[in-house]
Amino acid sequence: MVVAVLVFAAFYLGFRFYSRYLAEKVYRLDPNFVTPAHELKDGVDYVPTNKHVLFGHHFTSVAGAAPIVGPAIAVYWGWLPALLWVVFGAIFAAGVHDTGALVTSVRNKGQNIGTLSGSVISGRARSLFLIILFFLLTLVNAVFAVVMATLFIANPASVIPAVAVIPIAIVVGQRVYRARSPALIPSLIGLVVLYLMIPVGQLYPVSVDGLAALVGFTPKTTWVLLIFLYTWFASRLPVWVLLQPRDYINSHQLFVALGLIFCGVLVGFDTINAPAVNTYIAQDSPSWFPFLFITIACGAISGFHSLVASGTTSKQLDKETDARYVGYLGALGEGSLALGAILATTAGIGTAAVWNEKYVDFGTASSGAVDNFVSGVGHFVSHLGIPPELGAIFASVVVITFAGTTMDTGVRLQRYIFQEVGELIGVRWLARNVTAATTAGVAAPLALALAPGGGEQGFAFGRLWQLFGTTNQLTAGLTLAVIAVWTAARRCNPAAPLIPLVFLLFMTVYALLLNLVTFYTQRDWLLLSLDSIILVLSVWLLVEAVMAFNRLRRAPMAQAVPVER
């Protein structure tokens, strides 16, 4: 509990002082600026939204499963380095990154960060960034689909509550949007109904084994197909129908989850049984430097956040000054969830001997990360009189619903990317046809999620997961480069984005180079090729950013301010 109190105190100070500095001195938020949500209001994607509701959308869209899985793996190197990266990363890197991506997008008609790089850096940068974003979104959607399918199979009691949140959210969305009523009370009622479904799910667990046998697929393949079928429809709906109300309900659910975790720690007076720094690292395990900073992405800093901030959140921001609340506080919320994951997997899974068994090597730590979190949460809530089995179902529902929200947003963003690529290459049917773009956005990650190989964990985890973290963090670094050039062009101090930019790019490029050697030694030509492509694109984009920065330094004041349409 001492650790939790210290971390929350640091987060409070970060929001109280550093986010205000960013808002007033670096990004210069203007309460009178007409945001794209008002200027381009269409009732589908551009919808002015109350900052509390928008915080729910943004927070749960960026959260997903990553701030749970990453820290649950990274404690293998010790809880102290993982915790320090979460705290300092959330305050000084993620807050800068998320708020900056949101503000730069709002100042440019809600364009995503890839398109923004074209006007801020160069036309070539736009093409390079869009390709990198395609890689990242494909990996995110594929991996999260596999996470959800795995949890559905391992916890069939979670199926009913996880599915029930969809009609609950639609009813809440209709009530709020049609009646123009406040969202708080309907969403809280929806959350209560969702929790009433948990014991129902325990009584009536759902399995797809029969359906899988009928169609000739494995249960995991069947779940992956059903999940992507759902996202195809969900990502096409107006944001107020499902995305916003479900995200708002999930934001309350997250606060409940964090409350249960930390109250359970307080009541049970649990202690951390894992080593502060693990000195017994298995020989074939990766080094914490630089891979700790790649393994923990969401919770410290994550490039996927820039896609959400500039892809959907910027189109719903009511006032530009709300960016501080939505962007920076959302980053701290991610850090809080990562803190919960660290505590659950170091103080909630048993004695030191049990922990050593579950974290005997990096492979065991990786494959058991989600299960360790679920069992840890079940242990914490048992101190509050809740049966551990029911607590484990609750934790599974939290992970599944968050991952589902992220996939809904991720496929929607993938559709935007395909439409922009269609515009770039002159393929009008792809640029203008929403059905075609959505289908393409689903097909790419679906093919990856179902690809053979990779052992029991599957292709997405067994082979490509190594590139997911690196690509994600690299995207964060490149986003910070766009933000730094944009702030410098407006004659603001770019130090706030530049410092985490240098640190993050060093770590990610170093990790890419180490992976190149590993993949070559293992004769893994597919990963070697993908790693090489991502590395070349990233270095090229960085060169473009440096050239743009030098041009700004030589340009007179009147020519330095970027176009803000």
Band of residue 551 on the pLDDT scale cut at 50, 70, 90: confident
| Token couple for 74 | 């990274």
Q: What's the confidence (pLDDT) of residue 466?
A: 66
User: Which domain, by its residues, includes 148?
Assistant: 2-560
At 108, list the tokens: 């440019």
Residue type, 471: T
Q: Is the Cα dihedral 285, 406, 265, 16 positive or negative?
A: positive
Over range 357-370, report the average pLDDT. Answer: 88
> pLDDT tens, 182-193?
778 888 999 999
Please report, for the domain that includes residue 434, its CATH number: 1.20.1740.10
- What type of residue sits at position 84? L
Q: What is the pLDDT of residues 500-524, one digit of tens each?
A: 999 998 998 898 899 888 888 888 7
pLDDT recorded at residue 557: 45
Chain centroid offset of residue 434 CA: 24
pLDDT of residue 96: 97
Interval 131-144 mean pLDDT: 84
Strand partners, 316: none
**Selection from 83-97, 115-129, 414-428, 474-488 with the highest mean pLDDT:** 83-97
When pLDDT is averaged across residues 8-21 and rounded to a whole number, the result is 97
Average pLDDT in the chain = 87
DSSP-H helix ranges across 204-242: 209-215, 219-234
| Number of Cβ atoms within 10 Å of the Cβ of 414 | 30
pLDDT score of 464: 62
Q: Which residues pair with 49 in a beta bridge?
A: 317
Task: Give the pLDDT of residue 443.
Answer: 93
Closest of 496, 481, 466 to residue 539, by C-alpha: 481
pLDDT for residue 201 is more than 70: yes
- For residue 530, being part of any structural domain is answered with yes
Give me the pLDDT at residue 559, please.
Answer: 44
CA atoms of 271 and 286, how far apart (whole Å): 27
Q: What pLDDT was estimated at residue 560?
A: 44
The residues facing 317 across adjacent strands are 49
Using pLDDT thresholds of 50, 70 and 90, give the confidence band for residue 563: very low
pLDDT of residue 10: 98
C-alpha–C-alpha distance, residues 515 and 541, integer Å: 20
| pLDDT bucket at 453, cuts 50 / 70 / 90 | low
pLDDT tier, 561 (very low <50, low <70, confident <90, very high otherwise): very low
Q: Is the pLDDT of residue 75 over 60?
A: yes
Give 465's pLDDT tier (boundaries 50, 70, 90): low
Residue 565 lies in a domain: no
Residue 528 falls within a domain, yes or no?
yes
Note whether residue 494 is domain-resident.
yes
Question: Percentage of the chain with pLDDT > 70?
Answer: 95
Between 523 and 355, name the one with better pLDDT. Answer: 355
**Res. 555: pLDDT tops 70:** no
Q: By the 8 A CB rule, do 160 and 204 touch? A: yes
* Residue 122 pLDDT grade (very low, low, confident, very high; cuts 50, 70, 90): confident
Q: What are phi and psi of 49, to 5 degrees?
A: -135, 140
Which DSSP symbol is given to 204?
S
Q: Number of folded domains in the chain?
A: 1
Residue 211 inside a domain? The answer is yes
Asked, as a colleague might, if the bond just before 290 is cis with ω within 30 of 0, I would say yes
Predicted confidence (pLDDT) per residue in 283-306, tens digit: 888 889 999 998 998 899 999 899
Q: What is the value of pTM for the model shown?
A: 0.86
